[in-house]
A and B are shown apart, each in its own frame.
Chain A
């Protein structure tokens, strides 16, 4: 079994209003050392296969089809053995 964590973030070139608000909130709590803050989405997938290469390809396909919108979002896949 394999486990994947897929991190979906708004592209760097796209304004992240949610990240801006969270940054301001932290600053109002006296955290003055924040240069930038962005909020994304984490998708956790457990796969019933041990085929790493096949799994990677399928996860790529999942991201392109549904999990991320390539116009506004980037994604990164982290694949690990199931714990």
Chain B
């Protein structure tokens, strides 16, 4: 089982993700430069947080045209597991791999603090270890995390159980308090909170580690 962490110019959580997979999870992992077009041998791809291409135009708008993104779409189409965290989520939205878009935070502030989120779907490759309704403590750090989708689209998300995480108190104005969603097939997750920054007790919370552990468990069961 092998993890890949995509590196865009301006990614800055790539090393945190790499560290969690290699030193805490102890699974094989390597970096994938955004110009790469071959994902052979990978089982799971992580799109990390940061400010890819300076967040110019809109967060993720330029990164979605990086060569690796077409390969990731194929990879996901064939059932590969993809997780986008923070800027990674924004890139997945801009690429159309997940529905919706991000607006500026409602209060216009960059928000960097712990938030509580609730597990709304524990039947995904990313949440198998959590209990339904479990409350997790994870940090957020973003300027554009105000998730937007029209009423019809949101109703669809809710109906298909695609909302995976919801904020207890809505820090950024997201529709229906949405903090993380999956695609219809369930193998692509996008989330604004940072599980890679909450994978060790020494850092204040270990709640995020179980996302990566759930993925490992899910991939092992699949074999």
By the criterion CB–CB under 8 Å, are A17 and B108 in contact?
Answer: yes
In the complex, B104 has a CB within 8 A of chain A:
yes
Known: A72-B101, A72-B148. A17 touches B61 (CB 8 A): no
A18 on interface, CB distance cutoff 8 Å: yes
Max count, chain A CB within 10 A of own CB: residue among B58, B65, B173: B58
CA distance A18 to B104 in the complex (A): 8
Give B56 Cβ to nearest chain A Cβ, in Å: 11
The reply on A69 being an interface residue by CB < 8 A is yes
Q: How far is the CA of A67 from the CA of B126 in the complex (A)?
A: 33
What are the residues of chain B within 8 A of A18 when measuring CB–CB? 104, 108
Chain A residue nearest to B65 in the complex (CB): A66
A14 touching B57, Cβ below 8 Å: no
Is A17's CB under 8 angstroms from B106's CB? Answer: yes
Asked whether any CB of chain B lies closer than 8 Å to the CB of A71, the reply is yes
A17-B107 in contact (CB<8A): yes
Which residues of chain B are near A69, meaning CB under 8 Å? 58, 61, 94, 101
Bound form: Cα–Cα A71–B147 in Å: 11
- Separation of A10 and B146 alpha carbons in the complex (Å): 14
Beyond A66-B65, A71-B100, whether A17 also contacts B173 by CB under 8 A is: yes
Q: In the complex, which residues 81-115 of chain B have their Cβ closer than 8 Å to any Cβ of chain A?
A: 94, 100-101, 103-108
Contact B149 A71 (CB under 8 A): yes
Query: Cβ of B101 and Cβ of A71 under 8 Å apart?
Result: yes
Question: Does A15 count as interface, using CB distance less than 8 angstroms?
Answer: yes
- Give complex CA distance A71, B104 in Å: 14
Within the complex, what minimum Cβ distance (angstroms) separates A4 from chain B? 16
Nearest chain B residue, comparing its CB with the CB of A21: B108
Smallest Cβ-Cβ distance to A69: which chain B residue: B101
B99 CB → nearest A CB, Å: 8
Contact at A67–B57, with CB atoms within 8 Å? yes
Residues of chain B within 8 A (CB-CB) of A72 are 101, 103, 148
**C-alpha gap A71/B57 in the complex (Å):** 15
Q: What would 10 more interface pairs be, CB under 8 Å, given A18-B108, A66-B62?
A: A15-B173, A17-B104, A17-B105, A18-B104, A67-B57, A69-B61, A69-B94, A69-B101, A71-B101, A72-B148
> In the complex the two chains form, what is the Cα distance from A22 to B45 in whole Å?
40
Q: Considering residues A10, A18, A66, A71, which has the most beta carbons from chain B within 10 angstroms of its beta carbon?
A: A71
What are 6 A-B pairs with beta-carbon distances under 8 A?
Answer: A10-B103, A13-B150, A18-B104, A66-B61, A69-B61, A71-B150
- Distance in angstroms from A32 CB to nearest chain B CB is 23
Residue of A nearest to B106 (CB): A17
For A70, the closest partner residue in chain B by CB is: B101
Contacts of B106 in A (CB 8 A): 15, 17
| A-contact bits for B163-198, CB 8 A (1 contact / 0 none) | 000000000010000000000000000000000000
